[in-house]
Amino acid sequence: MDSSRLQPALLGGVFIGVMSALPIVNIGNCCCCLWVLAGGALAVYLRKQNSTIPITAAEGALVGLLAGVIGGVIGAVLSIPIQMLMGPMQAEWMTRIASAGNNDMPPEMREMIDRMAAGGALGAAGIFMSLINIVTSTIFGMLGGLLGVAIFNRTAPPQPPQPPMVIPHDPGVAH
């Protein structure tokens, strides 16, 4: 793998991973994987800046795919310390929701909230969700790369033809 592909994919992947791991900001991924698509397109844009020839769809898909894989792994790794910091706060919210006096809440729902607040659902479920996130980021990163090719590979419209030059005829010149 040459650096002309790896560097844009790495930068696009960092964008994907950071934006997908940040609390509140990561909600953008609920809108058709916004940050992942944008990271794949960013990788294609950066790849185009390093190239003098147009980027093909296959090249864009490859760079976007690499950015998605890198972003998925970075997002999974970054989400661990963020979850460790935010986990107690989320557990407190869950406990308040469960004890808010909702008598119409089914007992199964209350039991699930109690388990989540205790942290029982974070171990295996967190690993499973991280793997799903990596796969999803890979797929949507590739789609973002294809989208980036469509956006950034536009060529300038052709110039209108120039009118033919008319050479004035000099009557004193013999032909």
Residue 20 contacts residue 127 (beta carbons within 8 Å): no
pLDDT of residue 26: 86
Top-confidence residue, 157 or 29 = 29
Domain that holds residue 136: 3-152
110, part of any domain: yes
Identify the H or E element spanning 86: helix 57-98
- Residue 61 within a domain: yes
Model-level pTM?
A: 0.75
Tell whether the model's pLDDT for residue 82 goes beyond 90: no
Would you say residue 66 lies in a domain?
A: yes
Q: How many CA atoms lie within 13 A of 166 on its CB side?
A: 3
Mean pLDDT of the residues in the chain:
85
Contacts of residues 158-162 at CB distance under 8 Å and 24 or more positions apart, as own/partner, are none
Q: Is residue 78 part of a domain?
A: yes
Query: How many structural domains does the chain have?
Result: 1
If DSSP states are collapsed to H, E and C, what string results for 110-174? HHHHHHHHHCCCCHHHHHHHHHHHHHHHHHHHHHHHHHHHHHHCCCCCCCCCCCCCCCCCCCCCC
Query: What average pLDDT does range 141-148 have in this prediction?
Result: 97
CB atoms < 10 A from the CB of 129, how many?
A: 13
Does a structural domain hold residue 171? no
Signed CA dihedral, 36, 133, 17, 122: sign only: positive
DSSP code of residue 1 = -
* Mean pLDDT computed over 149-154: 89
Instruction: Give the mean pLDDT of 78-105.
Output: 77
pLDDT in tens, 9-52: 999 999 999 999 988 888 888 888 999 999 999 999 999 998 88
Which one has a higher pLDDT value, 29 or 95? Answer: 29
